[in-house]
């Protein structure tokens, strides 16, 4: 088989997914409260742009996932998800659920 085939990457993807979910779950315990504390400061400007609290949390979470993937590097991930620009925050449907923190 050629190097880098899907059967060789499967265990790495599995481990990468487990590590990502574990790290993200732990970091969400810090990120969500900090984001909620930041919300009253930035809410007026964000609401004018059509960004709700849920969309703001979703934007923060998507970029958190991208940052974790970049920090863990190529050993565990083929390619990290791209950064989500803030201008796209008003169109996000991504949400953080309670189960994500466990």
| Residue 34 within a domain | yes
User: Rounded to the nearest 5 degrees, what angle is found at the Cα of 85, between the Cα atoms of 81 and 86?
Assistant: 135
| Residue 14 within a domain | no
Report pLDDT for 1: 38
| Residue 54 within a domain | yes
Task: Report residue 53 as tokens.
Answer: 């609290």
| Residue 68 within a domain | yes
* Average pLDDT rounded to a whole number, residues 24-50: 92
| Residue 3 within a domain | no
* Average pLDDT rounded to a whole number, residues 60-83: 87
Alpha helix segments (H runs only) across the chain: 6-48, 53-72
Q: Which domain holds residue 86?
A: 27-101
| Residue 4 within a domain | no
Q: How many domains does the chain have?
A: 1
Q: Is 50 exceeded by the pLDDT of residue 81?
A: yes
Residue 62 neighbours by CB under 8 Å, 6+ apart: 81, 84, 92, 94
Q: What is the pTM of this model?
A: 0.80
Q: Which of the four pLDDT bands, split at 50, 70 and 90, describes residue 5?
A: low
Task: Report residue 48 as tokens.
Answer: 């004018």
CA distance linking residue 79 with residue 49, whole number of Å: 31
Q: Is 90 exceeded by the pLDDT of residue 26?
A: yes
* Average pLDDT rounded to a whole number, residues 44-64: 91
| Residue 16 within a domain | no
CA distance linking residue 88 with residue 59, whole number of Å: 8
| Residue 22 within a domain | no
């Amino acid at each position: 088989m050629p190097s880098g085939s899907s059967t060789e990457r499967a265990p790495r993807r599995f481990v990468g997914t487990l590590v990502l979910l574990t790290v993200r779950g732990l970091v969400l315990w810090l990120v969500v409260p900090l984001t909620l504390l930041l919300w009253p400061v930035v809410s007026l400007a964000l609401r004018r742009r059509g960004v709700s609290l849920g969309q703001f949390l979703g934007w923060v979470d998507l970029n958190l996932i991208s940052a974790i993937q970049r920090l863990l590097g190529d050993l565990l991930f083929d390619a990290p998800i791209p950064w989500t620009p803030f201008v796209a925050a008003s169109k996000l449907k991504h949400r953080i659920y309670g189960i994500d923190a466990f």
